[in-house]
C-alpha cells in the first residue's frame, strides 16, 4: 500500500498549516487508496517518525516523503536524510523514499511564474 507524508518545517501559527494540509487532502482525493499524513520538522505535531508509524500501522509498505521546501536547504539536504535513515531502521520491511523538494520541480516554478503574471494583468 502506498503511503505519502507531506513534510514541512512547522510553525506555532495554526493557520500556517492550512496549505500543507490542503496538499495532503488533494493527494488523498486523487488516490483514495493511499494513506496520507502531514508531518513537521519542528514547532508542531506530528513529527515525521509519528506520522510514518501511523501510516505503517495502516498497512503502508511504500512510503514517499514529499518535502514542502522551496529549495534544497539545510533541512532538506542534511536533516531529512538523517530522519529518513532512522525511519528505515525503525521499519525495515517498509520502503521509504524522499522525493525532491517541491521547489525543485519545474512545474511548480512555472506555475508560480504564471500566477505572478496573471496577478499583474
Which residues of the chain, if any, have pLDDT below 50?
Answer: none
- Which CATH architecture fits 2-120? 3-Layer(aba) Sandwich (3.40)
Note the pTM of the prediction, 2 decimals: 0.92
Q: Give the integer Cα–Cα distance in Å for 115 and 50.
A: 35
**pLDDT score of 66:** 96
pLDDT digits (tens, 9 = 90+) for 85-96: 999 999 999 999
Among all residues, which ones are annotated catalytic?
Answer: 9
Which of 111, 3, 2, 4 minimizes the C-alpha distance to 66?
A: 4
- Domain residue ranges in the chain: 2-120
Return the pLDDT at 79: 86
Distance in angstroms (rounded) separating the CA atoms of residues 79 and 62: 21
Amino acid at each position: 500500500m502506498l503511503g505519502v507524508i507531506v513534510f514541512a518545517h512547522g510553525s506555532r501559527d495554526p493557520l500556517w498549516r492550512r496549505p500543507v494540509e490542503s496538499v495532503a487532502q488533494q493527494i488523498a482525493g486523487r488516490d483514495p487508496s493511499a494513506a496520507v499524513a502531514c508531518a513537521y520538522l519542528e514547532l508542531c505535531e506530528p513529527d515525521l517518525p509519528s506520522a510514518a508509524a501511523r501510516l505503517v500501522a495502516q498497512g503502508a509498505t511504500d512510503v514517499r516523503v514529499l518535502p514542502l521546501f522551496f529549495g534544497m536547504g539545510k533541512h532538506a539536504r542534511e536533516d531529512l536524510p538523517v530522519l529518513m535513515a532512522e525511519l528505515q531502521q525503525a521499519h525495515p520491511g517498509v520502503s521509504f523514499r524522499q522525493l525532491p523538494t517541491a521547489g525543485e520541480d519545474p512545474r511548480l516554478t512555472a506555475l508560480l511564474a504564471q500566477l505572478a503574471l496573471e496577478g499583474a494583468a
